[in-house]
Amino acid sequence: MELRNKKVLVTGADGFIGSHLVEQLLEEGCQVKAFVYYNSFNSWGWMDTFSRETLSKIEVFAGDIRDPNGVRTAMKGVDVVFHLAALIAIPFSYHSPDSYIDTNVKGTLNVVQAAKDLNIERVLVTSTSEVYGTATYIPIDEKHPRQPQSPYSASKIGADCIAESFYRSFNLPLTIVRPFNTFGPRQSARAVIPTIITQLLKGKTDIHLGDTTPTRDLVYVKDTVKGFAAIAKSDALIGEDCNIATQSEISVGALAGQLITLINPEAKIIQDEARLRPEKSEVFRLYGSKEKITAHTDWKQQYSLEEGLRETIEWFKVAENLKGYKADIYNI
C-alpha cells in the first residue's frame, strides 16, 4: 500500500512515539489526523512543541480511547489507523490494573470494531516486547510464547488477541506492530534512559536505579517510526505481527555506564529498592529478531545505540526540555 496522500489517524499522537510518528507520516506525504487525550488544560502533549507550520498540517481530534463513540467519530473518513494510545508504565499497572484493561484492551476493541464497520483500509495496532516476557530463546521472534509478567503486559496480550481475532473473524486488514525498547527525545521519565540522563544533567552523582542486570534491545525512536511506516506499506504483513528490533542487547548496568561516561564520569550507580520489580515480574532478557521486518519491508536500523544516545542527550540538554522532568522522584 502507498501511504502518500492517504488520510491517516494516529491515536496516542500526543505521546512519545506517537508524536514522532506524526512527524514521520507528514514526511511520507500523508494527511494526518491526530487523536489526543481530552483534558481540561487543552494540552496536546508533545504536539504542543511542534512549530506553528507543522501544526497547520495536522487535524487534531481530542477524545478518549476508552469511549467508542469518540473513537468512531475520529475514524470516519480515514484510510489508515495507527493505534498507539495506551497506558504503558509497568509499576503503575501493579496498583491500577483496571485502568490498563479499560485503556489497552477496551481501547483496542473500540478501534478494531470501528475499523470493521467503517471499512478502514489498514489498521496497525501497537504491541510491546513486554508481551514476550523473559526470553526463553533468542533472538525473540514473533512465534515466541507470550508471558504476562505484569498487569501491563497482560493487558497488551489481551489487546493483541482482540486485534488478531478481528483479522481472523472479519478479515480486517490489520498488522500488530511490536516495537522493542524504543528510546529518544520526549520519552517519559518512567523509562530507564530518561531516568539516568535527567539525574545526570541535574547534577546528581548518585544515580538511583532498580535492577541493572536485565538486558534490553534498544531502538532509537526515529528508527521505530520508520518501521511503522514500512510495515504499513507491506501488504505481506496483513494478518501478521511484526517486531521492530535491532537484534542486539545491552544490560541496564552497561547502558548506565555508557551514559555516565558521556555525561559525568564521576557519577556512580546506587540500587534503589523502591525501583525493583517483583522477581517473577521482572523481564530479565529482551533480544528481538528483526528477520521478519527485514524480509517483508525495506526497513533497516539507521541509528547505532551510541548515535541515538547522543541525540537524546543533546535534546535533554536544552533547558526548556529538561525542566519538565522531575529527577528527584521515582516516576512510575
Residue 222, all three cell numbers: 526515529
Residue 244, all three cell numbers: 521492530
Distance of alpha carbon 5 from alpha carbon 173, whole angstroms: 19
Distance of alpha carbon 309 from alpha carbon 105, whole angstroms: 32
Contact 47, 117 (CB under 8 A): no
pLDDT for the residue 190 = 87
Question: Which of 101, 161, 102, 111 shows the shortest CA–CA distance to 131?
Answer: 161
Number of C-beta neighbours around residue 320 at 10 A? 7
pLDDT for the residue 279 = 92
pLDDT for the residue 327 = 84
Angle formed by the axes of helices 192-201 and 252-263, to 10°? 30
Residue 125, all three cell numbers: 495496532
pLDDT for the residue 330 = 80
Q: For 48-82, what is each residue's pLDDT tens digit?
A: 999 999 999 999 999 999 999 999 999 999 999 99
Average pLDDT, the chain: 97
- Domain boundaries 7-183+219-244, CATH class: alpha beta
Domain extent listing, the chain: 7-183+219-244
Q: Is the pTM of this model over 0.95?
A: yes
Per-residue exposure over 196-234, b if at least 16 CB sit within 10 Å of its own CB, e if not:
bbbbbbeebeebbbbeeebbbbbbbbbbbbbbbbbbbbb
Distance of alpha carbon 184 from alpha carbon 311, whole angstroms: 8
Residue 235, all three cell numbers: 501488504
**DSSP code for 177:** E
- Residues in the chain predicted with pLDDT less than 50, given as ranges, are none
Amino acid letter for position 175 = T
Residue 78, all three cell numbers: 480515514
